[in-house]
Amino acid sequence: MISSRYNPNQRVTVAVDCVIFGFDSEKLKLLLFKRKIDPFKGSWSLIGELIDNDVSLEDSANQILYKLSGLDNVYLRQLKTYGAVERDPLERVISVVYYSLIRIDEFNLKSTESHDAHWFDFEEIPELILDHGQMVKDAIRRLRLRARNRPIGFELLPEFFTLPQLQTLYESIYNTEFDSRNFRKKILSLGILNKTEKKDKSSSRKGAFLYQFKEKSLDNSSMNNGDFDKIREVIQF
């Protein structure tokens, strides 16, 4: 093994961990894993890997998700890097954490993984190893922050979805309830949705119209500040 040319004495291991959020049309969920190696084998944790020498941080995170699910191009953002000296008891490990938003309906765990993984409701998140609990708290806070300023969560829904579903998603993110009239007004005023003529009748007899995001608007549009603003940190995670 070759040591650093800049500093031969540095001994630091770098890992990437992923906070994976999903939405099943009713609740926002978090994907957790039973750790397969010691220390803490068998405890719940985020999924992660040590990085390879020739893979960027972002690609590392993408690879983790791809290996897990076969999904490519998932929504993935860097959250924060955790670098306390003693955070891992075995050796100095610095963890660069990403969070991702995925559509549970498109997400199929590879069978080898599936019995070691579980989607948790937020109220049921178990004790996590190391500082993973803090990572999850930070990720939720970030998700809320982002959802205030941008039409996030579109990554969490299937291509066609109803307004009640979208409202439920936002209610789930902020752990609160919205007035449906105001919610629809605001969302529709953004002009980023295409209404289709189809209805989804899976959750009511009347059926709700299906909408789709206008492709182009996804990247560009940022909602006015103040959107979905009434709600802030209703529950402290």
Residues that bind DNA (CB under 7 A): 162-164, 179-182, 184-186, 199, 201, 203-209, 224, 226-227, 229-230
The entry of DNA, its own copies, none that residue 203 binds, CB within 5 to 8 Å by partner kind: DNA
The entry of DNA, its own copies, none that residue 10 binds, CB within 5 to 8 Å by partner kind: its own copies
CA angle 150, 68, 103 (to 5 degrees): 35
Closest to its own copies by CB, 77 vs 118, is: 77
The entry of its own copies, DNA, none that residue 6 binds, CB within 5 to 8 Å by partner kind: its own copies
Closest to its own copies by CB, 150 vs 214, is: 150
Residue 20 pairs in a beta bridge with 31, 100
Residue 139 and residue 18: Cα distance in Å, rounded?
10
Q: Kindly state the tokens that stand for 85.
A: 């000296």
Please say whether the beta carbons of 66 and 72 come within 8 A. yes
Q: Is 48 helix (H, G, I), strand (E, B) or coil?
A: strand
The entry of DNA, its own copies, none that residue 41 binds, CB within 5 to 8 Å by partner kind: none
Closest to DNA by CB, 180 vs 194, is: 180
Closest to DNA by CB, 33 vs 183, is: 183
Q: How far is the CB of 229 from DNA (least distance, A)?
A: 6
Q: How far is the CB of 92 from DNA (least distance, A)?
A: 45
Residue type, 168: T
Q: How far is the CB of 153 from its own copies (least distance, A)?
A: 18
Closest to DNA by CB, 115 vs 181, is: 181
Which helix (H) or strand (E) segment is 213 a member of?
A: strand 208-213
Please say whether the beta carbons of 69 and 62 come within 8 A. no
Residue 55 and residue 57: Cα distance in Å, rounded?
7
Please say whether the beta carbons of 13 and 95 come within 8 A. no
Binding site for its own copies (CB under 8 A): 1-15, 50-58, 78, 80-85, 90-94, 96, 148, 225-226, 229, 232
Distances (CA, A) of 119 to 46, 124, 140: 11, 10, 15
The entry of its own copies, DNA, none that residue 155 binds, CB within 5 to 8 Å by partner kind: none
